[in-house]
Every structure is written in C-alpha cells, then in structure tokens.
Amino acid sequence: MLRRPSLWLALYFVFLATGVVVLSADTHPGPGVEYLHEERPAGPWQIHVIKIDCTRTDLALITTLAKGTVQGLETLSEQVKDVQPALGKPVAAVNADFYWLNPGPYQGDPCGLHIVQGELVSAPATGRGCFWIDTAGKLRIDQVESKLAVTWPNGTTTSIGLNELRNDNAAVLYTPTLGATTRTPPGRDVFLERDGKTPWLPLKAGQTCTARVRSVVDGRNSALSPDIMILSLGPDLLDKVPEVHAGDILTISTQTVPDLTNVATAIGGGPILLAQGKQPDWPGDQPRHPRTAIGWNDATFFLVVVDGRQANSVGMSFPELAELMSQLGCTDALNLDGGGSSTMWLSGRVVNSPSGGSERALANALVVVRTAEKKEPD
C-alpha cells in the first residue's frame, strides 16, 4: 500500500531541505522498498540508496547470471528482464561481483563466489568477501574458502577450480552452465557422468558427487552437454595425478568453509566494508571511483551506488564508502564491482548515472523481487 499523498508531500520537503530527493508516489516501487537520492557537496557526491524492509515476507533477494551462462555478459536492465516470473517481479537491482571484463574465452566469468537459485556456478576466491543468505534466512558476510576437490580411485585428492580459466598446472571442473564448450587450452579432459543416484547437476555447494568416467580425451575446447561435467587437467599436472580410464569412479566434493550447503543465494565481492560495525584497517592512498555496495542491520537491507568520474560526483574511496554505510545504519557491508559497472535499477529504469554514459554489460546482478502480496493483519 502506497503512503497517502499528503505524507509524501511532507517527506519531499523534509528531504529537499537536507539535499535528499525521494521518488514520487506514482513511481514508488511498492511497500517495503524506498529510494533516496542524496547530493553531497563535500565530494561532490551523487548517492543512490534503496532501502529494503527486512520484515517483509513478500520481498526476496536473488542473483542473476547474464544469459544464463558463465560465458556471457548483459546489462543490468537485460538481466532484470530475464528474471523468470516464477521467481517474482523485480523491483530493484544493482550490479554484483567483479568479473573477467577483457575479451577472451572467459569474458563474463565472475571473480568469486556465485550461487544462483541454489546452483554453484563459480567458486569463492581466496581472500575475497562473500555475501549469502543462510538456510535460516540470516544475512551473512565473510570470506569463504573453497574446498572443491576430486578424489581419485586410489584415494588421493586434488584441489579443483570451477568454470574458470585452467592453467597448465591446475585442474578445473566445468559444468554445462559454463557455455557450449570448455574453451580450454591443450590438456586432458575427463568426461564425467552420474554414477547411480548420487547428487549431480545442477551442481550445488556442500555436495559429494560420485562420478563415472565416460571417456578421457587429450585435446582442447571440449563440448559440454546437459548431463555431463568435464574435469580438465593441465599438461603440467598430468604426472602428479593418477591416470584414469573409462569406467573408473571419482568423487567430486564441493565443500566450502563456512559450509554453504543448501544456500540458494550468494555473491562474491570485496573488500568487506563493515563487519559487526567495525571497519578494517585501510592502507593509505585510497582512490575514489564509482562504487556499488550492499549492507544491512536487523531491520533494513541497503543497496547503494555512488556515482563517480563525473563533475558532480567524483566517487568514493573504500574508507569513505564504509563510513557512508555506517551512517546509513549498517552493521555489515560489502563492496561490489564498481567503476563503469556501478548501476542501480528501480521500477523499470536505471536511476543512477553510470560513469561510461550508459549501462555496461555485466556478469551478474543482485535483484530484489516481490514474490506475493503481504497480508496485512486483521
């Protein structure tokens, strides 16, 4: 239910006096969601804030993956448009994790953790922050360590990456969500199929999958299909792992620390700006750039974008952004991708000013959806 026009008018004048502008009622995204646009001359800064009422049962956070594949890029507006109706109606969104931007075989690969609708599509990166919603519905922020590994028939184990560039001395697991092919350089590809009733695709965090070797191919850029995974081994690794053959049984573990079993929504980022109200120790010479961040307290979840590289908004440093999130009332906050990627979408349109003059194609996004109308108490 929208607020009465008289209250909106009063709010408008209050915020106008402080340099903040609130969207008018006819463009308001509905109950539980508020948008604030603040102009601060000190930077100068153009600050965009979306506040989400954490008590609303009809609002949910989901992640999106551009074009549904790791090898893909879409603007924030395009990703919002691709959200399936069964997940809810998008009302607000921001860009999410850093990603492989330069043209090449892995353009669009998220740099860190990404779980979309329960599917693990990208593993956490060492030393980077992560945001997720645990199985109890609690918002979490921390560094997550990947324990992804393959156990060979002789009982030895090898750490593996997931849907990413495979170096000559590494092992990487590829799932169909990567795209049509692995795009790998020369190496040895082990084609894996489900063995029995073991957990399989879509791949999830915290699983142990028993896989049967379908075939082993020395080559490059192998084709992916909906029912298989490919474990690709770099040429410099071949003398360090056991040789396997068709019919052999391997075990794939997707464990993480902390445990992300049954987590449906997670995204990488960094650095962590606030953890239980405390900032990290920042090194000197912090540059200013356009920034995107998320944060929360017990009552409210915040999506924040600070425009940058423009005459009326120079962007923020990490300490400045952390201070902003603290001023908003956040106890925990995470920086997301910034620069030309910083984009905020609300009720059908982009409301900030991207530094490149238009929306940049992105790897993934964090989207607020309205799932059903909340019933008011009698």
Mean predicted confidence (pLDDT) in 114-125: 98
Question: Of 199, 226, 255, which closes a domain?
Answer: 255
**Is the link from the previous residue into 242 a cis peptide, with omega within 30 of 0?**
no
Q: Is residue 113 in some structural domain?
A: no
**pLDDT category of residue 252 using cuts at 50, 70 and 90:** very high
Q: Is residue 139 in some structural domain?
A: no
**Are 84 and 97 in the same domain?**
yes
Which structural domain, as residue segments, surrounds residue 220? Answer: 147-255
Indicate whether 17 pLDDT > 70: no
Q: What percent of the chain is modeled with pLDDT above 90?
A: 88
Mean predicted confidence (pLDDT) in 105-116: 96
pLDDT digits (tens, 9 = 90+) for 150-186: 999 999 999 999 999 999 999 999 999 999 999 999 9
Q: Is residue 35 in some structural domain?
A: yes
Strands 33-40 and 332-335, bridge-based pairing: unpaired
Mean predicted confidence (pLDDT) in 304-324: 98
Query: What backbone torsions phi and psi does residue 262 show, to the nearest 5 degrees?
Result: 70, 10
Indicate whether 350 pLDDT > 80: yes
Q: Is residue 12 in some structural domain?
A: yes
pTM (two decimals): 0.92
275 secondary structure, DSSP code: B
Query: What backbone torsions phi and psi does residue 72 show, to the nearest 5 degrees?
Result: -165, 150
What are the tokens at 180? Answer: 């049509």
Report the amino acid identity of residue 213.
V
Beta carbons within 10 angstroms of residue 294's beta carbon: 27
Indicate whether 5 pLDDT > 50: no
**Are 351 and 297 in the same domain?**
yes
Three-state DSSP class for residue 326: helix
Indicate whether 12 pLDDT > 80: no
Residue 353: alpha-carbon gap to chain centroid: 21
For every residue of 47-111, DSSP letters joined together read EEEEEEETT-TTEEEEEEEGGGSSS--B-HHHHHHTS-GGG-EEEEEEE-S-B--SSSTTTT-BS
Question: Of 255, 286, 319, which closes a domain?
Answer: 255
**pLDDT category of residue 29 using cuts at 50, 70 and 90:** confident
**Spatial CB neighbours of 10, under 8 Å, sequence gap ≥ 6:** none
**Are 159 and 250 in the same domain?**
yes
Higher pLDDT, 255 or 372: 255
Indicate whether 2 pLDDT > 50: no
pLDDT digits (tens, 9 = 90+) for 262-288: 999 999 999 999 999 999 999 988 999
Say how many domains are in the chain.
2
Indicate whether 80 pLDDT > 60: yes
Distances (CA, A) of 278 to 24, 145, 282, 332: 35, 22, 12, 8
Q: Is residue 116 in some structural domain?
A: no
Q: Is residue 74 in some structural domain?
A: yes
**Are 344 and 247 in the same domain?**
no
Question: Of 219, 239, 255, which closes a domain?
Answer: 255
**Are 163 and 230 in the same domain?**
yes
Mean predicted confidence (pLDDT) in 70-77: 95
Q: Is residue 112 in some structural domain?
A: no
